C-alpha cells in the first residue's frame, strides 16, 4: 500500500479535487477561494498547484489532497485512500494474512446485488401490497423508502441463495456476507432472512454491509421481531451506525447528532426534518461508535424509548459519552413511546421535544430529586449516589466540581461529604470505566495534556523537519538512534524506527500506521515544518537550510530537556531536605552539579 499513496498523488491534481467543493480562482502562482472549514467573507484559502498542497490563513488548516478530503468528509485515512484510488484508477495493494482483500470487494458487490433484489421484491414483487401498505401506515413515505433502500425478503428457504448463485457467487462467498445460515445437520445452507422487511445498514461511504430485518406484519411472530446480520468481514455491529452515511453532512452542519434506538425512528426523524439522526445497530452504544460520531461533532442528543429499558440504555450511553468527552443532552417525549410513534402523529411534536432537550446531568439530577425525599437522610444519600454515578464519568474537573457543589447545596450537606461519596462511587465503577478507555499509542499519550512544555513544542518542530526530507531522516536514524535525546521520547523513537521501515518517505510512513489520531497529528507536524506560507505563495527550505535548522532544534531540544531535569532535581532536593533524607539529598546534589557543568 505504501507505493499506492505516491501513485495516487501523481495521478490526481489537488486543484481538481478541491474544486469539487470550493470555487477556486487563479491568483498568481496559486488558487484562492473561500475556506470550506470556517465562515469567511474574504478568501483566505489557498491551493498551490505546484506543491499540491492547500492552506488557510484564517483557520490554519492545511495539507495535501488526502488531508483535504479527510477533513471535509470527516473520514479516516484508509477510507479516503479508497475513494482517491478509485478516482485515480489505482488498484490498491492491500493484503491481510497473505490473502488479497479482493474478497471484501466481492462481498460488498454481493450485498449490493442482494439489496437490489430485496428492493425489487418490495416495489414490484410480492411485497408491493401488504409490506408497502404497512410502511405507509407507519408513516414512511415512498421517498424515504427509496432513500434508505428498504426492501422485502420473501418467504422461502433459498431465494437469495439462488439469486446470487446464478450471478456467479460461490456458496462460500454468499455465506461470508451473513445472508445464509447453516442447516442444523451441517448439510447445506438456507436464507437467513425470510418474510422480513429489510433495512440495509451502510458504511460511511454508502456501501451496504449488513441488514436489520423486521418480521413482516402477520408473519411468524414466534421468531425474533428483528434479525440482524451476524459479524462478518465487512460488518461489525459495534462500529456501524444506521443512517450515518445519509446524516453526516447535516450532523456537521448542525453540530450535533440525534441518537435514537430504531431504524424506523431514524427514517421518521429524517422525514420530520431531523436529518442529523442515526441509530445504534442492534447493540448498545459502543466506544467505536462514539469515535465515529466525534469525527463530525462532540454534541449528542439522545432520544431513546420512554419505557424502562430505553431509559436504562440512555443512562449507560450517556455515561460512556461523558467518559469520551462528549456534550450530552436528553430528549423526552410527553406523548408516544418513540420517535417514529410521535412523528407519525405529529412531526412538530418531535421537533419541539428535540428543541426542549436538556443537559444530561440536569436531567439525571432532576430525576433523582423527583424520586427521593431530599429532607430525609436516606433520600439525601440516594440522590447523591444516583447523580454521582454519572458525575464520576465527567472528563472535566471543573464540571465535576460544579456538580459536587450543586449536590451539596441541594441536599444541604458539606462538599467534603459529597466528595467522600464520590470516591466510593468511583471505586465501585472504576473497573467499568477502565473498560471504556482503550490504551492509546505512545504518540497519542504525548498529546493528551492540554498544556505543552516548551521542550514538547521544540520536539514537534524537530520531528516535522526530520520527516520533511528523506536524506536527513535517514541520516538522523543512522547517527542518533541511540542518543539520549532520542531514547527519552516515544514520538522521536517511533518516527525514526518506523521511518526506516517506510524508506524514510512520509506518505509511505503514514500508510504503515493504524491509529487515525496518530496519522492526523503526524500530518499536522509534517506540514507545519515542511512549508512556510505567505500571502504571496509557499516556500520550502533547501537541504542546507533544513540541516542547519535540524541541528539548531536538536541543540535547543537537548538544552530544554536538561533544564526540565534541573527543575525536577531542585524540587527533589527541597523535598529531601524537608524529610531529612540525607542519602537521596547527596545523590541529587551530585546529579545537580554534573548537569550544571554540562549545560555551561
What are the boundaries of each domain within the chain?
Answer: 2-93, 106-235, 241-356, 363-435, 443-579
**CA-CA distances (angstroms) from residue 39 to 20, 31, 149, 256?**
18, 18, 34, 18
> Quick one: angle between helices 347-355 and 263-271, nearest 10?
100
What is d(CA 130, CA 128) in angstroms, rounded to the nearest whole number? 6
DSSP 126: T
Among residues 475, 445, 459, the alpha carbon closest in space to that of 560 is found at 459
Helix, strand, coil percent content, the chain, rounded in steps of 5: 55, 15, 30
Q: Does domain 241-356 have CATH number 3.40.1360.10?
A: yes
241-356 and 106-235 share a CATH fold: no
The whole-number pLDDT of residue 466 equals 94
Q: Say what the pTM is.
A: 0.70
The whole-number pLDDT of residue 435 equals 36
The whole-number pLDDT of residue 221 equals 66
Task: Domain 2-93: give its CATH architecture.
Answer: Alpha-Beta Complex (3.90)
**Alpha-carbon dihedral 505, 511, 513, 519, rounded to 10 degrees:** 80
**Alpha-carbon dihedral 443, 449, 450, 455, rounded to 10 degrees:** -70
- Report yes or no: 135 and 184 within 8 Å, Cβ to Cβ: no
The whole-number pLDDT of residue 5 equals 85
What is d(CA 275, CA 251) in angstroms, rounded to the nearest whole number? 8
What is d(CA 504, CA 476) in angstroms, rounded to the nearest whole number? 11
* Secondary-structure class of domain 363-435 per CATH: mainly alpha
The whole-number pLDDT of residue 444 equals 46
Q: Which position has the grid cell 406523548?
A: 335
The whole-number pLDDT of residue 449 equals 41
- CATH topology classification for 106-235: DNA primase DNAg catalytic core, N-terminal domain (3.90.980)
pLDDT digits (tens, 9 = 90+) for 119-168: 999 999 999 999 999 999 999 999 999 999 999 999 999 999 999 999 99
The whole-number pLDDT of residue 350 equals 95
pLDDT digits (tens, 9 = 90+) for 86-130: 899 888 765 333 444 447 889 999 999 999 999 999 999 999 999
Contact partners, residue 402, CB within 8 Å, separation at least 6: none
DSSP string spanning 160-222? Answer: HHHHHHTTT--HHHHHHTT-EEE-TTSS-EEES--SEEEEEEE-TTS-EEEEEEEEPTTS-TT
Q: Cite the DSSP H helix spans in 261-395.
A: 263-271, 287-293, 308-323, 339-345, 347-355, 360-371, 377-391
DSSP 439: P
Low-confidence ranges of the chain (pLDDT < 50): 95-102, 431-442, 444-451
The whole-number pLDDT of residue 339 equals 92
The whole-number pLDDT of residue 195 equals 94
DSSP string spanning 493-553? Answer: HHHHHHHHHTTT-HHHHHHT---HHHHHHHHHHHHHHHEEEETTEEEE--HHHHHHHHHHH
Parallel/antiparallel/unpaired status of strands 257-260 and 299-303: parallel
Amino acid at each position: 500500500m505504501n507505493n499506492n499513496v505516491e501513485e495516487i498523488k501523481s495521478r490526481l491534481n489537488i486543484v481538481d479535487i478541491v474544486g469539487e467543493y470550493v470555487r477556486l480562482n487563479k491568483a498568481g502562482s496559486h488558487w484562492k477561494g473561500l475556506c470550506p472549514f470556517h465562515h469567511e467573507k474574504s478568501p483566505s484559502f489557498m491551493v498551490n498547484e505546484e506543491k499540491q498542497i492547500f492552506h488557510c490563513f484564517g483557520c490554519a488548516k492545511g495539507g495535501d489532497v488526502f488531508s483535504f478530503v479527510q477533513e471535509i468528509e470527516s473520514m479516516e485515512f484508509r477510507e479516503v485512500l479508497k475513494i482517491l484510488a478509485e478516482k485515480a484508477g489505482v488498484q490498491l495493494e492491500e493484503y491481510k494474512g497473505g490473502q488479497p482483500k479482493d474478497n471484501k470487494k466481492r462481498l460488498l458487490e454481493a450485498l449490493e446485488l442482494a439489496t437490489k433484489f430485496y428492493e425489487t421484491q418490495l416495489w414490484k414483487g410480492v411485497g408491493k401490497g401488504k409490506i408497502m401498505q404497512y410502511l405507509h401506515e407507519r408513516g414512511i413515505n415512498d421517498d424515504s423508502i427509496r432513500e434508505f433502500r428498504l426492501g422485502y425478503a420473501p418467504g422461502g428457504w433459498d431465494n437469495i441463495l439462488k439469486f446470487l448463485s446464478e450471478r456467479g457467487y460461490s456458496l462460500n462467498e454468499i455465506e461470508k456476507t451473513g445472508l445464509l445460515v447453516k442447516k442444523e445437520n451441517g448439510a447445506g445452507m438456507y436464507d437467513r432472512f425470510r418474510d422480513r422487511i429489510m433495512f440495509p445498514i451502510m458504511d460511511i461511504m454508502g456501501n451496504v454491509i449488513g441488514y436489520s430485518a423486521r418480521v413482516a406484519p402477520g408473519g411468524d411472530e414466534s421468531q425474533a421481531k428483528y434479525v440482524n446480520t451476524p459479524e462478518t468481514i465487512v460488518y461489525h455491529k459495534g462500529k456501524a451506525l444506521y443512517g450515518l452515511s445519509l446524516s453526516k453532512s447535516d450532523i456537521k452542519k448542525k453540530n450535533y447528532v440525534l441518537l435514537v434506538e430504531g431504524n424506523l425512528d431514524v427514517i421518521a426523524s429524517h422525514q420530520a426534518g431531523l436529518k442529523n439522526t442515526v441509530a445504534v445497530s442492534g447493540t448498545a452504544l459502543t466506544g467505536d461508535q462514539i469515535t465515529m460520531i466525534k469525527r463530525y461533532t462532540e454534541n449528542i442528543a439522545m432520544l431513546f424509548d420512554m419505557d424502562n429499558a430505553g431509559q436504562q440504555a440512555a443512562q449507560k450511553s450517556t455515561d460512556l459519552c461523558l467518559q469520551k468527552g462528549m456534550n450530552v443532552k436528553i430528549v423526552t417525549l410527553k406523548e408516544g413511546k418513540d420517535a417514529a410513534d410521535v412523528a407519525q402523529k405529529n412531526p412538530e411534536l418531535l421537533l419541539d421535544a428535540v428543541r426542549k432537550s436538556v443537559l444530561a446531568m440536569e436531567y439525571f439530577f432532576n430525576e433523582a430529586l423527583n424520586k427521593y425525599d431530599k429532607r430525609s437522610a436516606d433520600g439525601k444519600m440516594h440522590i447523591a449516589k444516583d447523580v454521582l454515578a454519572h458525575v464520576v464519568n465527567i472528563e472535566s474537573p471543573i464540571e465535576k466540581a460544579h456538580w459536587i457543589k450543586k449536590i451539596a447545596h441541594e441536599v444541604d450537606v458539606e462538599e467534603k461529604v459529597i466528595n467522600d461519596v464520590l470516591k466510593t462511587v468511583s471505586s465501585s465503577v472504576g473497573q467499568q470505566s477502565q473498560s471504556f478507555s482503550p490504551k492509546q499509542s505512545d504518540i497519542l499519550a504525548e498529546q493528551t495534556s492540554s498544556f505543552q512544555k516548551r521542550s514538547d513544542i521544540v520536539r514537534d518542530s524537530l520531528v516535522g523537519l526530520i520527516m520533511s526530507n528523506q536524506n536527513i531522516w535517514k541520516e538522523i536514524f543512522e547517527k542518533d538512534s541511540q542518543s539520549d535525546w532520542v531514547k527519552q521520547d516515544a514520538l522521536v523513537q517511533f518516527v525514526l524506527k518506523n521511518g526506516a521501515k517506510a524508506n524514510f518517505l512520509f506518505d509511505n510512513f503514514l500508510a504503515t500506521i493504524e491509529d487515525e489520531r496518530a496519522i492526523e497529528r503526524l500530518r499536522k507536524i509534517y506540514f507545519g515544518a515542511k512549508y512556510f506560507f505567505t500571502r504571496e505563495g509557499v516556500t520550502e527550505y533547501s537541504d542546507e537550510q533544513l540541516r542547519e535548522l535540524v541541528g539548531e532544534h536538536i541543540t535547543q531540544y537537548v538544552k530544554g530537556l536538561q533544564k526540565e531535569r534541573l527543575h525536577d532535581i531542585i524540587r527533589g532536593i527541597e523535598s529531601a531536605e524537608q524529610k531529612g533524607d540525607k542519602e537521596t539529598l547527596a545523590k541529587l546534589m551530585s546529579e545537580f552539579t554534573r548537569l550544571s557543568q554540562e549545560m555551561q
